Amino acid sequence: MTKKISITVFMALLVCSCNQTFEPNGSYEDRMIVFSILRTESDTQYVRVYETYDPNLHNPLTHTTDTEITDATVLVSDGTDTIAFHDTVITRYDTTTLYGKYLHTYTAYHFVPKANTTYTLSISSPTKGNVSAHVSTFPSGAVYASNKIYQTLAAPQSSEADTSIIVTVQLSSEVPAYMVRLMLKYRQYVSGQWVLSLVEVPIEVVEGVSYNDYLPTYPSVMRRGQYATMYAGQERISFSKDAYIALVKNLKYTIGPSKIEFDGAYFILNQFDQNVYSYFSATNQVSDNISIRLDQIDFSNIQGGYGLFGLSTHSESFYLKLPIDIDVQ
């Protein structure tokens, strides 16, 4: 008898549950969204402020209107001095976006973040409330380009060239992640004058059958310790010499050997704080090629809202002056 009653109750609950509408979206909450990364290579800093929108009313796949907040007061303080950010409209880097050519931002001029300082971001809006965030800075790192690197860049196919381009960086003790890039400067003859241009060198390349048939891979954010040496805070990064040769060859054949003169090269080291690295890790899911992530994660260090307030430092190696013609035949 007890077994029959249990089955009856279970069937009744099952029938009732089938009449309830399933809603995958939770209840909507209006929140402020903030994006800002303080950069040491610039004396102009930006803070972008938006608000969330209800996905039940606006399809995220077709929503093309920025939800900018334009009535906010944006301040950054180090505990002694307070910098006020001003309401500004700037041109987007990508002007083809569906969101339009311009974007609204809050801007501060003549502001270079100092090392070993904690900055507090405070944003208040009469219509959207208040949010805040903190970031702690650290000294810029150092990047070293040896004489052997110069020989490899100047004459990559000579007997004195290395098989790869290896650069050494020294990281600040608080840095969890970083990125190293190799930049190449050249002059191109355009409309009767020489124009100086800058291009990034790939870290790896898959070559095809012709000079312009190759698949480049560019440096990405790397976790501290992946390429550590025996010295504390020191990492050694290897760039493929074949990638460098493929780029130089493509430039010479695309522009024309008589219309290009190479000028020099240098390395850039960017260090990132834990906030930026956590945000990068969340948006890029995994940091290796074999892991499978089953959950969908998110990161925010904005108290009272969503978004990111972080730090990026910038260091450059000394400039390696190259011959105007680089033999890659």
231: CB partners within 8 A, 6+ apart: none
Query: HEC states along 19-34?
Result: CCCCCCCCCCCCCEEE
- What was the pLDDT predicted at 63? 64
CA distance linking residue 135 with residue 279, whole number of Å: 14
Nearest to 202 by CA among 157, 238, 178, 168: 238
> What contacts 312, CB < 8 A, 6 or more positions away?
37, 38, 39, 40, 270, 271, 272, 273, 276
Average pLDDT over residues 31-53: 94
- Res. 87: pLDDT tops 90: yes
Q: State whether the Cα torsion 287-217-316-93 is positive or negative.
A: negative
Q: What is the mean pLDDT of the chain?
A: 87
Q: What DSSP string describes 189-207?
A: EETTEEEEEEEEEPSEEEE
Alpha-carbon torsion angle 40, 203, 216, 164, nearest 10: 150
Radius of gyration over alpha carbons of the chain, in Å?
26
Digit-coded pLDDT (tens) for 166-214: 999 999 999 999 999 999 999 999 999 999 999 999 999 987 766 667 7
pLDDT digits (tens, 9 = 90+) for 101-149: 788 899 999 999 999 999 999 999 999 999 999 999 999 999 998 888 9
Q: How confident is the model at residue 60 (pLDDT cuts 50, 70, 90)?
A: low
pLDDT (tens digit per residue) in 19-39: 556 566 667 677 899 999 999
